[in-house]
């Protein structure tokens, strides 16, 4: 039993135990797992026949076919493999805002998904990123690794700028098995999302995007005259907040949300808006299932 620590309580972990991650395509796992893979071998699910050739496992010869056709025919089975899960948590300074906090929300979501993946014997890679700095927990497998994963998540402190593309490029600069990339971020990246997302498309990872949004970002409550200082880069913007300007901001913010979602939908990625005021259980047990990421 994993130590839930301060992130998730035990009752919630129990509820997560019935869930597992969903992959739409066969996986490329190296080890035995619970997901369909492209390899055929000693699985449980029959896929095809082929003529026997020397060296094949004779246990898979279809003897009834041999009696009928006097030829050795081999039965092929779909091999079940584990799923490489790459769970990216945005640890930039912009995540350290909002009530409830965006980073806290992101961390809990990551913990929940990580726990679900570990239960399914998937190989979980936990990565926090800010600027070009990447802090990663090497691949873990099995429920027994949950405490380490949680400790890693608890140890992350937000800081630096959002740099999605540089973080992904750095992480995937090493050979990584194609798998499921889970991105949890507010996506307030000065360089935009396209470079990072394009990299994931090139690497042909299946991707799920969890967009963390705080209510203060959607409906800012600011004085009429204010100087807004960006927490990441320190750039100050002087505002005379008029209703028209506020409306323009709302429209731009919604457009930003819409652009990210549209990108994900275009390439068949799962997209979920994680509003920090929404309870974690609702996000995990209902919304993530609705998006087809969990079942």
Partner 1 sequence: MNLWALPQLALLAAVALAVVLLFLLKPSPRRLVVASTLVWRRVLRSRDRTPDRLRWWISLLLAAAIALAMALALTRPEPDAFGGAAARVVLVLDNSATLATLTSDGKMRWEHAQERARDIVRAGAAGSRYLVADTQRTIASPRFEEPEAALETLDRLRVVPGGEPVFPGVLRADGADARAVFVTDGVAAVPVPQGVEILSVFQAADNVGITAFDVRAVPRDARRHQAFVEVLNASLGAKRVELQVAGAGHAPIVRVLDIPGGAVASETLDVSAFESGPLQASVGSQYDAFAADDVAYAYLPTSKVVRVGLVTAGDSFLERSLRLLPRTQVRIVPARRMNARSGIDVWVFDRYAPARLPGVPALLFRPPPADWLPALEGDLGATAVAAWVRGHPVTEGLSLRDVFVEHALAIRAGTQTQVLATDASRRPLILASASGPRWVEVAFSLGDSNLPLQPGLPVFLSNVVDWMTGEPLALKSGPAQVRLPVTGAKVVDLQGHGVATREMLGATFAELERPGLYTAIARDRRVRVAVNVADPSVTAINASRLPPQQAVPGLQPRPWPITPWLALLLVAALLVVLEWWTYNRRLTV
Residues that bind partner 1 (CB under 8 A): 93-98, 102, 162, 186, 188, 190, 214, 216-217, 220, 222-223, 225-232, 235-240, 242, 245, 248-249, 252-253, 256
- The Cα 1–Cα 222 span in angstroms is 46
Closest distance to partner 1 from the beta carbon of 49 (Å): 57
Task: Look at strands 180-185 and 206-213 and give their pairing.
Answer: parallel
Structure tokens at 91: 């640890």
Closest distance to partner 1 from the beta carbon of 42 (Å): 51
- The Cα 124–Cα 117 span in angstroms is 7
Residue number, 70 or 240, with CB nearest to partner 1 = 240
Residue number, 84 or 158, with CB nearest to partner 1 = 158
Residue number, 51 or 234, with CB nearest to partner 1 = 234
Cα radius of gyration (the chain): 23
Closest distance to partner 1 from the beta carbon of 269 (Å): 22
Beta bridge partners of 50: 74
Residue number, 28 or 97, with CB nearest to partner 1 = 97
- The Cα 181–Cα 208 span in angstroms is 6
Please tell me the total number of residues recorded for the chain in this structure: 295
Closest distance to partner 1 from the beta carbon of 195 (Å): 15
Task: Look at strands 206-213 and 133-140 and give their pairing.
Answer: unpaired
User: Coil, strand, or helix at residue 130?
Assistant: strand
- The Cα 282–Cα 91 span in angstroms is 23
Closest distance to partner 1 from the beta carbon of 25 (Å): 34
Residue number, 78 or 90, with CB nearest to partner 1 = 90
């Amino acid at each position: 039993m994993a130590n839930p620590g301060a992130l998730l309580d035990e009752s919630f972990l129990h509820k997560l135990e019935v869930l597992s991650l969903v992959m739409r395509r066969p996986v490329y796992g190296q080890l035995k797992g619970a997901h369909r893979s492209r390899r055929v071998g000693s699985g449980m699910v029959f896929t095809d026949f082929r003529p026997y050739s020397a060296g094949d496992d004779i246990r898979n010869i279809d003897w009834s076919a041999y009696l009928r056709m006097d030829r050795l025919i081999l039965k092929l089975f779909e091999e079940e493999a584990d799923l490489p899960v790459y769970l990216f948590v945005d640890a930039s300074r912009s995540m350290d805002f909002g009530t409830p906090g965006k980073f806290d929300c992101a961390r809990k979501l990551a913990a929940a998904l990580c726990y679900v993946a570990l239960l399914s014997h998937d190989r979980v890679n936990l990565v926090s990123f800010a600027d070009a700095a990447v802090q990663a927990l090497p691949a873990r497998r099995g429920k027994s690794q949950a405490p380490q994963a949680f400790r890693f998540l608890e140890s992350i402190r937000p800081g630096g700028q959002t740099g999605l593309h540089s973080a992904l490029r750095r992480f995937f600069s090493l050979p990584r098995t194609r798998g499921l990339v889970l991105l949890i971020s507010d996506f307030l990246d000065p360089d935009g999302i396209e470079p990072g997302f394009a990299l994931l498309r090139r690497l042909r990872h299946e991707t799920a995007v969890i967009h963390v949004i705080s209510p203060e970002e959607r409906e800012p409550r600011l004085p009429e005259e204010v100087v807004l200082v960006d927490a990441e880069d320190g750039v100050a913007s002087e505002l005379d907040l008029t209703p028209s300007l506020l409306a323009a901001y709302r429209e731009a913010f919604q457009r930003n949300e819409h652009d990210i979602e549209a990108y994900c939908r275009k390439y068949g990625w799962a997209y979920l808006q994680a509003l920090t005021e929404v309870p974690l259980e609702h996000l995990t047990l209902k919304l993530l299932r609705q998006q087809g990421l969990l079942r």
